[in-house]
Amino acid sequence: MALGRKRTGSSKVPKLQLTSMMDMFTIILIFLLFSFSNNPEQMSLDGDMKLPQSTSKLDYKDSIRLVLTRNELKLDGNVIATVKGENVEGLDKLYDALKNYRDVADTLKKDVNIAERKEHILFLCDKEHSFKVVNAIVKTAGRAGYPNFQFGVVETE
Amino acid sequence: MALRSRRREDIGDDELELVPVMNMFLVLIPFLLLSASFYHIKAINTSVPVLSSTSATTKGKPSKADAKVTVIVELKEKAVVLTATCDELSYNDLVKLETEMPVKNPEVYPMEKISQHLQYIKDKYPKSDTVILVPTQQVAYGTIIRTMDTARSANNAELFPNVVLSGKVG
């Protein structure tokens, strides 16, 4: 009997001290969840795209999203034009698409939320592009009925 | 007696089973890390000039201090030119607000000097709130954003919150 007791005592598996690791994980988890709640809607940018930095503190609004990477122009995620050197090919498609948005927004003007969403364009552009390229795009958008923009930038400290 | 002491021992050894919680954390944290973004995207409001169907009307003649001056900042290859336009001011008053700053390197514009001149105009005509930015074709988008920042605020004070981006006409 005495032997039996001894054996069970010696075969006791040592337990890992997980409490400190739990504390660390809890802190990381809370930090990550807070960083999500800070700006619930995040956008993914192409890897080679570099947004300019700015001191602006203004949050962007949900709107039509125009993204100009090094080689492509995307409207709400779909490639609509390409950039070759300093020329943008396919601006007519951009004009047609935006004009279509404009017409839909005008038709649905009674619905406040939809009308608000279509009032301006969120423009995300690589900082290396020249004004020639940018101007061609913003002018086309202006002609299609969207003269107001929000330029997306990365916040500086 | 032996039984009692064993029970007490068992009660003393009871610990929370943390392993399943750890497992959950180990799944959650990589997932959150992968989808987290460590940069904050902000926005600058701007617009492009549009044709207006309404004609400009003058509502009496306000005093000079109440004048709303619109500043035009031209980013040229070899200089930055600042001019001003305002219906309420005379030609001579507007000429006094003009300045030209030479640029040695087209990639480095004198933002400090631009800021100082804009502050001077803002101090003189505090109701002014609009800057029209006119870059040349070769100016990089990053430089345009920096100029917008310079025009919008200086030393945490608001200068010209409305920045209009325009191409050179003619």
CATH of the domain at B117: 3.30.420.40
Whether pLDDT at A107 is above 60:
yes
The string of pLDDT tens digits covering residues B93-120 is: 889 899 999 988 877 889 999 999 999 9
Whether A48 is in a domain gets the answer no
Domains identified in chain B, total number? 2
A22 and A71 assigned to the same domain: no
Whether pLDDT at B56 is above 70:
no
Reported as a pLDDT band with limits 50, 70 and 90, residue A117 is low
Q: Which candidate from A36, A43, A131 shows the least CB-CB separation from B136? A: A131
The string of pLDDT tens digits covering residues B120-148 is: 999 999 889 899 999 999 899 999 999 99
* Contact residues on chain B for A134, CB-CB shorter than 8 A: 141, 144
Instruction: Pick the residue from chain B with its C-alpha nearest to A5.
Output: B6
Residue A142, domain CATH: 3.30.420
CB A138 within 8 A of CB A129: no
CB B44 within 8 A of CB A150: yes
The string of pLDDT tens digits covering residues A3-32 is: 555 555 556 777 777 788 888 888 988 888
Counted residue by residue, chain A has a size of 157
Whether pLDDT at B5 is above 70:
no
Whether pLDDT at B54 is above 80:
no
Give the model's pLDDT for residue B1.
47
Whole-model pTM over 0.80: no
Greater confidence (B68 vs A115) lies with B68
